[in-house]
Structure formats: structure tokens, C-alpha cells
Chains A and B, each alone.
Chain A
Amino acid sequence: MPESKIHFDRVCLEYPKNGNKSGLRFARTPRPNGQSTLVLENIDLEIETGEFVSIIGHSGCGKSSLLKIVAGFVRPTGGSIWIDGRPVEGPRADHMFVFQEGALFPWLTILKNVSLALNSARDQADRIKMARQYLELVSLEAYEDYYPHMLSGGMRQRAELARALAARPDVLLVDEPFSGLDYLTRLQMREEILYLHMMLEKTTILFVTHDIDEALQLSDRVVIMSGPPGRLQSCRPICVAHPRQLSSSVLDEMRSDIYHQLGVHAAL
């Protein structure tokens, strides 16, 4: 039995060519047949409890798909995925996904959005109280009665993080949460998520990003993917204590190495 927190065992994923738009049936398995595209190929990966792992790769290489498999939204067409020694069989509240596109319910205030994640709490008053605490965690307590469209992009992402955290997940799957934000806000969000990870030390985070500095600043390990079809290219542990100085020579070296691996040369 695998002992690590998350264990990928030769995970493969094919999508049918003619597209499968149905999102209604949870964890629907795309049927492999002649008419399919290989999106992920033989992914083997071990992730330890409390680890912060960033996944970097070119657009379309299957990062979101990989995360969706861990979340249980999509079932792999080959191989298997285990969390805590149990195969993933579908979405669960202890493996929370934070969406790339923003997925707060627009018809609920952010307090209600967050309290929805607390459906195990005994009574309504308890739920509201706890939801407030999670909003405080991301400094949004003053905005609890706002609807998502009334918030800025960064605030929305923070509210979404609060909702995900309120479900008390032990695995947080974060799909490019900051890609729509401006640079300054992104820097703030980095601090925010680092702080949250330190607070919730047992929480394992899988973090998809395009931003190499973000990965260097935050993660214990950077996983570089190539593709399509998505394969694991390499893993780089980052053994530098927080807070990190991005201009330090260790990280500098690592940065150019990652750029090199991604086949990007002009960036420096």
C-alpha cells in the first residue's frame, strides 16, 4: 500500500476527440476509443503530507486535468491515484479544488458562499460564526454581505480560498488562482497563501502556476511537466527557508534551470 499522502501510479488520461461537455455527471469517465486525445501519459508522482508542490508547464500540457483527477472530477483512463492509501473515487470535501476560472456562487453573498462549505456544523448560527472566522483569515470580514461581482478579482480569489479552507481539506488543489490578477495583487496573494500554508501545516497543497517566481517563492518542490501529451519532465526540491529572497543565488540558478527545462531562453 502506498504510504505517501498522494500517490500517482502510472496515471493516464484520454479525452474523447469530439469533446465531452457534460459537467453534470460527477467524475464521468471519458471513454477511450479510437477517437481520443492523450492528455496525460504515465504520471508517477509521490507527494508527502504537508508538502507544497508547484506544477509548471506549458499551456495545454494537462496541468488542470491532473489536478481534476486528484480532485475526483475526472477519472483517469489508465493507472490509479491514491490519497492516504485509498483510491480516489470521486469528489470529497477533504480534497478541495480552487478553480482557475473563479467559481464562487454569484447568487450568494461571500459569507453564504463560505458557510456552504461548513455543512457539517450543527446549527445555522454556528455556521455563520465559523464562516466569519474564515473570512477574517483572508481579511474579508468587512465584505461578508457583498456578492462576488461586487468584489475585486483579488478579493474574489481570497473569498474562494476561504471557502475552500472552510471545508477543512487536507489536500488543497489550486489551479492558477492568481493568473487573472495584476502583478501587485499576485505578490500579495503569494504572501497570503504562504501564511495560510504555515497556519495549516498539515495541509498538502498542489499548486498549478505559470509564474516561475511564484513557484520558487512558495513551494517545497517544483514539478515540471512537458507536453502535450502531459508527462513529468522533472522534479526540483527547493530547500530554502521562508521567507525567501528571490534574488538569492540558489533561487537564481534554479530559475534559469527551470526556464531552460521549459525551453524558454529569452526570458533572462
Chain B
Amino acid sequence: MSVSACNVEMFPDIARILRALYRLILDGSLLKHCVASLFRVTVGFYLAIVTAVPLGVLLGLYRTLYRIVNPVIQFLRPISPLAWAPFAILWFGIGDLPAIFIIFLACFFPLLIAAVDASANINPIYFQVGANLQLSRWSAFANIILPAIIPNVMLALRMTLGMAWVVVVAAEMIGMKSGLGFLIVDGRDALRLDRVAAAMLVIGLIGLVLDRIMQQLGELESLRWKNARK
């Protein structure tokens, strides 16, 4: 172990980080913490999708409704999701729920705004064609609204998931007893910067993988039409 002249390590060297990582893998705690974080992100993210996207479409299509609700959205949006942490713990106790709630908040507003924007900007001609063909409400939704907003919503999903991943770590640093964020706080408290750095490494890697997955989803066959449009 090399100790530098000024006796303070600015950053643990790579060998130490890898050793710490190896130990975390061996004793199973890394897997446990990863699963905990991923679980929270997944649930919060999905909850945000199934609420924000339909609501956003509704607001995008009905301008009057949008004008009424928009001030509330713009009021809540700038409040950092982490600021809700004390209330989240008060309301949901300890466990996964407070973190999920915070993730949900972090994802909800960006997704909502993307969905509002995407559906408000659908070319009105398409609705006229739909009305002319006398499509049912469901058919108009499935054949016009959904495909028209999917490219923009997919992009928003990709960016939001990245943000959710940032937020989960922060949320776990505040009050959780598991997850990669906890691993960082735990490492800090034990003055084990090698473990902190190992956790950071894993967070980055998982973030990379998540983004790749979202990118793949964005290139599905059903979105082909969008690619060649320019």
C-alpha cells in the first residue's frame, strides 16, 4: 500500500478499489445493494410512467385542463424530490417505500412535461383524418396519439431513467439502510474510501447499462418511421 508524501490519499488507487469491489462481490453485499437500488428505481420509474404519460396526454389534448393544472405542476416541479425525504419517511415509514416515492417524484414531472409537449404538438391534420375515418376513441388513441408521441416519450424515458438512477443513490444516502447510496455512506463513515469508490464504479456501470437498454428500446422496429423522416 503506497502512502503519498503528504500522507493523504486524494483518491484510492485502482488496485485497492478493485480489491474492495472483489470483497463486496464475494460477501454478497454488492448484489444485495444493487438489487435494492434497482428495485426502487424500477418501481418508482414504472409508477411514474403509468401516471405521468396518460395524464400528460390528457393535458396535452385538452388545453383548458392544461391551463388549470399547469400552475400546480410548475409550482411542484422545481422542488427537489429529495426535499420530500422527511415527509416520505413520515408517511411511508422506513423500507423501500420512501425511496420509491422520491424516485417517482423525480421521474414524474419530466415525463409529464414531455408527454404534454408531445401530444400537444401532434399535427392536427392527423386528428382530422381520424375524425373523417370515424375512428373510435380507442382506435384514435392507438393509431394516432400513441404512435405520434412515442418517439418523444422514449427520449424522455431515457433521460428520466438516468435521473432516477442519480436520485436513488442520493435518497439512499439520506435515510436508507440498503442500496448503493447506503454503501457509499457506510463506506464514508468507516473511512473506507476504497469502498466508496467501488460503489461509484458500480453506479456508473449500471447507469451505462440502463442507458444502453433504453437506447435499444428507442430503436425498435415500430419507431423506424421516425428515423428517416429528416
User: Which A residues are within 8 Å of any B CB, using their own CB?
Assistant: 21-24, 26-27, 71, 73, 90-93, 95-97, 99, 101, 103, 105-108, 116-117, 119, 147-150, 167
Give the segment of B107-115, B124-132, B190-198 that binds chain A: B124-132
0 or 1 for each of B93-129: is its CB under 8 Å from A? (1 = yes): 0000000000000000000000000000001111111
Return the 4 tightest CB-CB contacts between A and B, nearest first.
A23-B124, A107-B147, A91-B131, A26-B131
Contact: B135 with A116, CB < 8 Å?
yes
* B63 pairs with A91, CB closer than 8 A: no
A108-B147, A167-B132 are known; give 16 further A-B pairs, CB within 8 A: A23-B125, A24-B61, A24-B62, A91-B132, A93-B133, A99-B125, A101-B125, A105-B126, A105-B129, A106-B229, A107-B222, A108-B225, A119-B139, A147-B228, A149-B228, A149-B229
7 residue pairs of the A-B complex, CB under 8 angstroms, read A21-B124, A22-B63, A24-B63, A26-B127, A91-B128, A97-B129, A116-B135
Cα A95 to Cα B229 in complex, Å, equals: 30
Which A residues touch B147, using CB under 8 A?
A: 105, 107-108
A-B contact count (CB 8 A): 81
Report the bound CA distance from A26 to B140 in whole Å. 13
Question: Are A167 and B126 in contact, CB atoms less than 8 angstroms apart?
Answer: no
B166 close to chain A: CB less than 8 A? no
B23 sits at the interface (CB 8 A) = no
CB contacts (< 8 Å) of A150 on chain B: these are 228
B7 at the interface (CB under 8 A from A): no
A91 to B124, CA, bound (A): 14
B144: Cβ under 8 A from any A Cβ: yes
Question: What residues of B have a CB within 8 angstroms of the CB of A117 in the complex?
Answer: 133
B120 (CB) vs chain A CBs: closest residue: A24
Q: How far is the CA of A43 from the CA of B145 in the complex (A)?
A: 36
Closest A residue, CB atoms, query B223: A107
A107 CA to B228 CA, complexed, in Å: 11
Contact B128 A26 (CB under 8 A): yes
> With A and B bound together, what is the CA distance between A21 and B122 in angstroms?
12
In the complex, what residues of A have CB within 8 A of residue B125's CB? 23, 99, 101, 103
Q: Which residue of B lies closest to A104 (CB)?
A: B129
Q: How far is the CB of B100 from chain A (nearest CB, A)?
A: 33
Task: List B contacts of A22 (CB < 8 A).
Answer: 63, 124
Specify the main secondary structure of chain A where it touches its partner: loop
CB distance from A245 to the nearest CB of B (A): 36
Which residues 29-84 in B have Cβ within 8 Å of A in the complex?
61-63
With both chains docked as a complex, state the minimum distance between the C-beta of A83 and any C-beta of chain B, in angstroms. Answer: 14
Q: Which of A24, A93, A97, A99 contacts B127 (CB 8 A)?
A: A24
Q: Are B134 and A147 in contact (CB under 8 A)?
A: no
Most buried by A among B129, B134, B143: B129
**Interface: B212 (CB within 8 A):** no
- B224 interface contact, C-beta 8 A: yes
Contacts of A91 in B (CB 8 A): 128, 131-132, 134
B148 within 8 A of A: yes
Asked if A97 and B61 make an inter-chain contact with CB atoms under 8 angstroms apart, the answer reads: no
Give Cα distance in the complex from A116 to B133, angstroms.
8
- B225 pairs with A103, CB closer than 8 A: no
B225 touches A149 (CB 8 A): yes
- Complex contacts, B148 vs chain A, CB 8 Å: 107
Q: Smallest distance from the beta carbon of A68 to chain B beta carbons, Å? A: 8
B2 at the interface (CB under 8 A from A): no
Asked if A99 contacts B129 (CB within 8 A), the reply is: yes
Q: How far is the CB of B59 from chain A (nearest CB, A)?
A: 12
Residue in A21, A90, A99, A119 whose CB lies within 8 Å of B131: A90
Smallest CB gap from A27: residue in B: B131
Smallest Cβ-Cβ distance to A92: which chain B residue: B134
Chain B nearest Cβ from A174, distance in angstroms: 13
B128 to A, closest residue via Cβ? A73
* Interface assignment of B216: CB less than 8 Å from any CB of chain A: no
Asked whether B136 is an interface residue with its Cβ less than 8 Å from the other chain, the reply is yes
